[in-house]
Amino acid sequence: MRYFTEDHEWIEVDGAIGTVGISEYAQSQLGDIVFVDVPADGRQLAKGDEAAVVESVKAASDVYSPVSGSVLEGNPALSDSPDLVNSDAEGEGWFFRITLSDEAELDSLMDEAAYEAFVSKL
């Protein structure tokens, strides 16, 4: 199941593991991505914490953790190929994987249909 935040992060959950990235919408607003700084393995994050940084030719933006938990891994491919976020923001351009500490936090996030409706009003 995939969920979205109002800050345009997505999390795809498989058991107690979540894969986090930014939405296609966020990527389109940023433009060409030139650098991504992912969180360190083992870092503890609370829901809403600044977890990563993405820089484009237009701006630098923080990426927030949609849930609380412990970072399993950052996406190693982004250090050499930050443009993966441009070509596949909701796939190979993921930022980090996290072990969820409170699955109930997912209840406050939007599903894909609700997120599409949210973005359509922006």
86 sits in which H/E element: helix 84-87
pLDDT tens sequence across 57-112: 999 999 999 999 999 999 999 999 999 999 999 999 999 999 999 999 999 999 99
pLDDT, position 92: 98
Q: How many CB atoms lie within 10 A of CB 16?
A: 11
The mean pLDDT value for 24-42 works out to: 97
Q: Where are the beta strands (DSSP E) in the chain?
A: 2-4, 9-14, 17-22, 33-37, 44-45, 50-56, 60-64, 69-74, 96-100
**Domain limits, the chain:** 2-117
The mean pLDDT value for 40-62 works out to: 97
The mean pLDDT value for 26-31 works out to: 96
The CATH topology of domain 2-117 is OB fold (Dihydrolipoamide Acetyltransferase, E2P) (2.40.50)
Mean pLDDT of the chain: 97
Three-state DSSP state, 35: strand
Instruction: Indicate the pTM of the whole model.
Output: 0.97
Q: How sure is the predictor about 28, in pLDDT bands with cuts at 50, 70 and 90?
A: very high
